[in-house]
Amino acid sequence: MKAFVLDRYGKKGALRLADVPAPELRDDEVLVEVHAAGVNLLDAKIRDGEFKLILPYRLPLVLGHDVAGVVVRVGPRVQRFKAGDEVYARADDFRIGTFAEYVAVAEASVAIKPATLSMEEAASMPMVGLTAWQALVERANLKAGQKVFIQAGSGGVGTFAIQLARQLGATVATTTSAANTALVKGLGADTVIDYRQDDFEKVLQGVDVVLHSQDAAALHKSLRVLRRGGTLVSISGPPDPAFASGIKAPWFVKLVVRLLSAKARNSARRLGLRYSFLFMRASGAQLREIASLIDAGAIRPVIDRVFAFDATNDALAYLETGRAKGKVVIKMK
């Protein structure tokens, strides 16, 4: 099969289009013919070598985490799916590889594709949907009537998280550029802050939950807009000791993580807040919940551009410009 392969780590290095063997199917996996694949910054960060400590992949490696496609074969222990099912998924860590014609995904990580979406739209959803769900529902336990601050509202995670927060009954504040104000308001944002003109710390106060996706300076400012007892969930770091323990990291990685996150954790503790780092995980059960919301019209996809499979490197480069409104997707068929 054709696939885009990472041969060596390197900043903005090109993936190689190659003919590689189709993935071997484990007993609890389904083999999916890829129709579309979402592109995520995680793909670029893995390519650049930024996750070598916590995701020690063996190279060469086929990149890609999000997929929508058709099941062509199932392992002997699979019960929920059959050949011909249209599905979507976020492939598990160490079993990624959606920038290819076929990918094997654990049954527990797959869900039937939302009926109202095209393959390209469905492929845009898994990683951002699961990230927002795990941050707002699982970690923050966001409730109706609470105030949430979602950074970078016009990005992939932001466009989904705004809609999910509104569905949960929260009041939503977000940052974006003036050009994207109408977009995020249309998704349900109540307060929109132009990050080029205004300082969100001077606008917001008494926030219950922050979904942090920016740099360290924004993190510490975000802690100061939270009410006492509030929660900050970070998807951009620094990783915390709970994360390191969860991935069973070696002792030296746990030490590095503890040191990197010490300032954020100590600042949160002094302010009476909870700091939590999220590295989202694959979940077919949560994707089923998300599919129900999508098919009910509560959440819609936001796609900036769709690239042909041969232009996968161009898709990654475009995503890295930071100008994408919503998601970037690769179309196989």
Question: What is the distance between the alpha carbons of residues 175 and 300, in angstroms, rounded to a whole number?
Answer: 20
| Residues 166-178: tens digit of each pLDDT | 999 999 999 999 9
pLDDT of 160 > 90? The answer is yes
60 preceded by a cis bond (ω within 30 of 0):
yes
**CA atoms in the 13 A half-sphere facing the CB of 153:** 33
* Residue 155: per-residue pLDDT: 96
pLDDT of 212 > 80? The answer is yes
- Using the structure block, give the residue that is written with the tokens 């109540």: 190
Q: Residue 186: in which H helix or E strand, if any?
A: helix 181-187
| Residues 25-62: tens digit of each pLDDT | 999 999 999 999 999 999 999 999 999 988 999 999 99
* Residue 254: per-residue pLDDT: 93
Question: What is the distance between the alpha carbons of residues 22 and 1, in angstroms, rounded to a whole number?
Answer: 6
Question: What is the distance between the alpha carbons of residues 276 and 263, in angstroms, rounded to a whole number?
Answer: 13
- Using the structure block, give the residue that is written with the tokens 């080029």: 196
Q: How confident is the model at residue 93 (pLDDT cuts 50, 70, 90)?
A: very high
pLDDT of 276 > 80? The answer is yes
- The residue-averaged pLDDT of 103-113 equals 98
pLDDT of 333 > 80? The answer is no
Q: Cite the beta strand spans of 151-290 per DSSP E.
A: 171-176, 191-194, 207-212, 226-234, 274-277
Q: How confident is the model at residue 73 (pLDDT cuts 50, 70, 90)?
A: very high
pLDDT of 190 > 90? The answer is yes
Question: What is the distance between the alpha carbons of residues 145 and 168, in angstroms, rounded to a whole number?
Answer: 9
| Residues facing residue 305 across a β-bridge | 328
Q: Name all domains of the chain by residue range, CATH numbers in brackets.
A: 2-125+301-331 (3.90.180.10), 128-277 (3.40.50.720)
Q: Residue 57: in which H helix or E strand, if any?
A: none
In sequence order, which residues have a C-beta less than 8 Å from that of residue 283 and are 6 or more positions away? 90, 108, 109, 130, 134
- Residue 58 is encoded by which pair of tokens? 């063996």
Question: What is the distance between the alpha carbons of residues 171 and 190, in angstroms, rounded to a whole number?
Answer: 6
pLDDT of 293 > 80? The answer is yes
Average pLDDT, the chain: 96
Q: Cite the beta strand spans of 195-225 per DSSP E.
A: 207-212
pLDDT of 12 > 90? The answer is no
- The residue-averaged pLDDT of 77-93 equals 98
Give the chain's end-to-end CA distance (angstroms, integer).
14
* Residue 248: per-residue pLDDT: 87
For 297: left if phi > 0, alpha if psi spans -120 to 50, otherwise beta; the answer is left
- The residue-averaged pLDDT of 52-77 equals 96
Can you tell me whether residue 162 is helix, strand or coil? helix
pLDDT of 148 > 90? The answer is yes
Percent of the chain with pLDDT over 90: 96
